[in-house]
Each structure stands twice: as C-alpha cells, then as structure tokens.
Amino acid sequence: MFTGEEVALVTGASRGIGKAVALDLASYGVKVMVHYHSKEEEALQVADQIERAGGTAKIFQANVADEAAVQRMCREIKKEYGRLDILVNNAGITKDGFVTMMSAAKWQDVIDTNLKGTFFCTREALKIMHRQKRGAIINVASTSGVVGQPGQLNYSASKGGLIAFTKGLAREVAPQGIRANVVAPGFTETDMTRQMEPDVLKKYLEMVPLGRIGKPEEIAYMVSFLASSKAAYITGKVFIVDGGLVTV
Ligand code: NAP
C-alpha cells in the first residue's frame, strides 16, 4: 500500500480531519509534514504523537492563501526531504451567511483559503512531483460543493470549484504519473461543525441515513486509500463520505 519512503504534506493538520489524515498516513510509515496556520501547539502535538509511535513528522506554518508562504514551505520540504509523494489539500474555512447579507470579505476569504490555497499548494507540490514522475493529490471538498448548501454559497462555490479544479488537474498531470482525486465529507465531528447551532446540526443529522455525524478518522481512511498504491488506477474522481446523506 505504501513503501515507507513516501513524504506527505497534509494542510490543516493541526486538528479535525487533517489531523486524522496525518495520523492515519503516519501509521503506514509515511513521513508526514504537518501543516498549520495559527495553532502551533496543536500541530506540535500531532507531530509528537506521530514520533512517539515511531513515525517521522515535522510541522510547517503557512497561510495557504499566501503565495510566498506556500512557496517557502514547499521549498523547505524539498530541501529537507528531497521529495513529495502525497499532497492532501485539506485546510479550509467557512464564513456562512445568506447570499443577500454576504459581505465581499466573507466571500473572498473563503474562496482564497479553500480554492486559491489549494491552487498554490498544488502548483508548488507539482514542481517536486513532476520530476519524480509520481504523486497523489487528494483535495478535501464537501457535500456542499456537490449539491450546494443554502447559507454558505461562498463555501459551496469554493468546494464546487475545487471539484472542477481536481477533475481538470487529473487529466493535466496523468501523463506525469500523478493522480488527483476529491474526498467530499458530509457532517464530520470537528471544530467546524462544533461552531454550528446545535439545533441546526441536529436537524441535518436527522437526514443522514446512517443516523449520526461522521468521525474525522472515517474521512481519513478514504484519503489514505486514495494516496496509496491500491488506488493506482483511480484519478479525477469524487468520493463522498457522508453516511449516505447525498445521492448523486
Ligand atoms: P477545522 O477543524 O476547522 O480545521 C481547519 C484546519 O484548516 C486547521 O488545521 C486550520 O489551521 C487550517 N486553516 C484554516 N485556515 C487556514 C489558512 N488560511 N491557511 C492555512 N491553514 C488554514 O476543519 P475540519 O472540519 O477538520 O475541515 C477540514 C476540511 O474538511 C476543510 O477543507 C473543510 O471544508 C472540509 N469539510 C469539513 C466538514 C465537517 O463537517 N467538519 C465537512 C465537509 C468538508 P489552524 O488550526 O492552525 O488554524
């Protein structure tokens, strides 16, 4: 599934889904670059947990929407490890509001972090992957990007854009032996859903056929599979992990 030589960059790995992805990849012997934005202590704890289990991890700080910061991070990874085999574009934010009330700033922040950030990280990672003639990119979208979600059109647009970006990317980089896929989680137990009104979340969860919220690890298992050699013939696809909520 993994050779034990792979180096992975997981963005937004300080907590939530990214943390679960970092820990799961590390459990297969993948060296994990634990990226964070503001929560250094949490990122250090993730790296420490990986190293105490016998793995290799290092933390990297960057605002993914900052081109120069992303370039610096990828240069450091290349300098230190000389390779990058797996990129998980997971960092993401919500800034919800109904469209008539949405400020330009809320719109832009979400597009910049979720979509432009993914573009920057992907472009810099590809500079390393191209020379290796191999690589796997997994972009974490959302069911909101598949079906659209009232009250978060900025987020839905960013995640829908991410899906189209990944489909195009998969075709563009396939000749270089690089694969790109999307994992689209439904409601997952992280800080992102903890900030929702409990009554609203409860209402949504009642619509989930499996009858509960997802665990971050349940998203991570799909990401690790797509990053692995077991998914060698899969590219340009969207995998929804949502307890059966969305039917497409
Ligand atoms: P979370 O717990 O809120 O964590 C967000 C992560 O993104 C943190 O590691 C944070 O870093 C990082 N981040 C935020 N803004 C950033 C920026 N400008 N630059 C770099 N990193 C930044 O979120 P989560 O629920 O785990 O979500 C992870 C991904 O899954 C997101 O893309 C989200 O859209 C997607 N998703 C989540 C759900 C859900 O129900 N939770 C559902 C569908 C899709 P710091 O900790 O350092 O601030």
| The 3-state secondary structure of 147-208, one letter per residue | HCCCCEHHHHHHHHHHHHHHHHHHHHHHHHCEEEEEEEECCECCHHHHCCCHHHHHHHHCCC
* pLDDT of 248 strictly over 90: no
**Residue-range definition of the domain harbouring residue 236:** 7-241
Asked if residue 158 belongs to a known ligand binding site, the reply is yes
- Predicted confidence (pLDDT) at residue 101 exceeds the cutoff of 90: yes
Instruction: Kindly report, residue by residue over 187-198, the tens digit of the pLDDT.
Output: 999 999 999 999
**pLDDT tens digit string along 16-31?**
999 999 999 999 999 9
At 167-216, the pLDDT tens digits run 999 999 999 999 999 999 999 999 999 999 999 999 999 999 999 999 99
Say yes or no: CB of residue 154 within 6 Å of ligand 1: no
Count: domains in the chain = 1
What single-letter amino acid sits at 236? Answer: G
Q: Is the CB of 58 under 6 A from ligand 1?
A: no
Residue 13 assigned to a binding site: yes
Q: Does any domain span residue 246?
A: no
* 49 pLDDT tier (thresholds 50, 70, 90): very high
Residue 41 CB–ligand 1 contact under 6 Å:
no
12 marked as binding residue: yes
Task: Answer yes or no: is 27 a known binding residue.
Answer: no
Going by DSSP bridges, is the β-strand pair 57-61/238-241 parallel, antiparallel, or unpaired?
Answer: unpaired
Q: Is 185 in the pocket of ligand 1 (CB under 6 A)?
A: yes
By most ligand atoms within 8 Å of CB, the mutation choice from 34, 88, 93 for ligand 1 is 93
What amino acid positions are annotated as catalytic residues?
Answer: 155
Task: Give the 3-state secondary structure of the chain.
Answer: CCCCCCEEEECCCCCHHHHHHHHHHHHCCCEEEEEECCCHHHHHHHHHHHHHCCCCEEEEECCCCCHHHHHHHHHHHHHHHCCCCEEEECCCCCCCECHHHCCHHHHHHHHHHHHHHHHHHHHHHHHHHHHHCCEEEEEECCCHHHHCCCCEHHHHHHHHHHHHHHHHHHHHHHHHCEEEEEEEECCECCHHHHCCCHHHHHHHHCCCCCCCCECHHHHHHHHHHHHCHHHCCCCCCEEEECCCCCCC
User: Looking only at Cα atoms, what is the longest distance across the chain?
Assistant: 51
Name the percent of the chain lying above pLDDT 90: 99
pLDDT of residue 157: 98
Asked whether residue 169 is assigned to any structural domain, the reply reads yes
Q: Is the pLDDT of residue 88 over 90?
A: yes
Q: Which residue has the tokens 């992907």?
A: 122
Residue 1 within a domain: no
Ligand 1 contact, 122 CB (< 6 A): no
Q: What is the CATH number of the domain that holds 128?
A: 3.40.50.720
Residue nearest to atom 31 of ligand 1 (CA): 92
Q: Is the distance from the beta carbon of residue 15 to the nearest atom of ligand 1 less than 6 Å?
A: yes
Tell me if the pTM is above 0.85. Answer: yes
CA–CA separation, 7 vs 178, rounded Å? 14
Q: What is the mean pLDDT of the chain?
A: 98
Residue 89, amino acid = N
Q: Which atom of ligand 1 is nearest to the CA of 112?
A: 18
The closest residue, in CA terms, to atom 17 on ligand 1 is 63
Distance 90 CA to ligand 1 centre (A): 6
Q: How far is the CA of 216 from the centre of ligand 1 (A)?
A: 11
Tokens describing residue 152: 């978060």
- Residue with CA closest to ligand 1 atom 34: 92
**Which amino acid residue places its CA nearest to atom 2 of ligand 1?**
16
Q: Is residue 17 in contact with ligand 1, taking CB distance under 6 Å? A: yes
pLDDT digits (tens, 9 = 90+) for 106-120: 999 999 999 999 999
Amino acid found at 25: L
Whether 247 is in a domain gets the answer no
Residues 100 and 153: beta-carbon distance below 8 Å: no
Residue 83 assigned as binding residue:
no
